[in-house]
């Protein structure tokens, strides 16, 4: 069964990007150890991200000049980018620019994933919209040994403890990985 998963790195203080929407803090963490992303991504059939993470990776990795890098990371997997503005398209990438309600887009993603999982890369507000709609099944958080004090929050909304069940924890180098099953909205209420 297809799972919708938010797999992301976060700081100890729950920030996914600094005040300038940069992920540079993440690359400062020297953390040798086994690779958790490659086996995770092998089970992904489609993924989504917000406009801000898309723009950051586009600029930071110079993807308009080197579009083959996108293919090297993500292959032919389709990606949905939620945005309210026009963004440049990476040549050769299977990108679908969308806006609005996440539910119909999620249905498209499930169909495109072909039985594999859906990866929500961020940002936190987009992932929160999936959680609000009851379309988020799992959080996989790589907690880095960094604090930033400010920036984009991991998930800018309340998910009560009744909706979250810790299903796994793991240590890889300097990262602590926490995996939570996410229950439906209203779980534990009433």
pLDDT digits (tens, 9 = 90+) for 33-53: 778 999 999 999 999 999 999
Predicted TM-score (pTM) of the model is 0.93
pLDDT for 179:
98
Angle in degrees, CA 66, 70, 74, rounded to 5: 165
124-132 and 102-113 helices cross at what angle (nearest 10)? 90
Query: How confident is the model over 59-84, as a mean pLDDT?
Result: 95
pLDDT at residue 189 is higher than 70? no
Handedness of CA 134, 82, 144, 150 (dihedral sign): negative
Q: Which CATH superfamily is domain 4-182 in?
A: Dihydrofolate Reductase, subunit A (3.40.430.10)
Q: How confident is the model at residue 190 (pLDDT cuts 50, 70, 90)?
A: low
């Amino acid at each position: 069964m297809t799972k919708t998963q938010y797999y992301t790195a976060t700081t100890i203080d729950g920030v996914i990007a600094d005040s300038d929407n940069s992920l540079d803090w993440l690359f400062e963490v020297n953390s040798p150890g086994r690779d958790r992303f490659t086996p995770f991504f092998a089970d992904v059939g489609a993924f989504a991200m917000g406009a801000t993470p898309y723009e950051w990776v586009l600029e930071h990795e110079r993807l308009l000049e080197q579009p083959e890098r996108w293919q090297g990371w993500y292959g032919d997997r389709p990606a949905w980018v939620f945005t309210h503005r026009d963004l440049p398209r990476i040549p050769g990438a299977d990108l679908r620019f969308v806006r609005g309600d996440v539910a119909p887009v999620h249905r498209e993603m499930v169909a495109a994933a072909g039985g594999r999982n859906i990866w929500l890369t961020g940002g936190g507000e987009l992932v929160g919209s999936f959680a609000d709609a009851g379309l988020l099944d799992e959080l996989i958080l790589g907690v880095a040994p960094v604090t930033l004090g400010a920036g984009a929050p991991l998930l800018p909304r309340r998910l009560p403890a009744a909706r979250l069940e810790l299903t796994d924890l793991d240590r890889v180098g300097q990262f602590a990985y926490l995996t939570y099953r996410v229950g439906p909205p209203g779980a534990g209420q009433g």
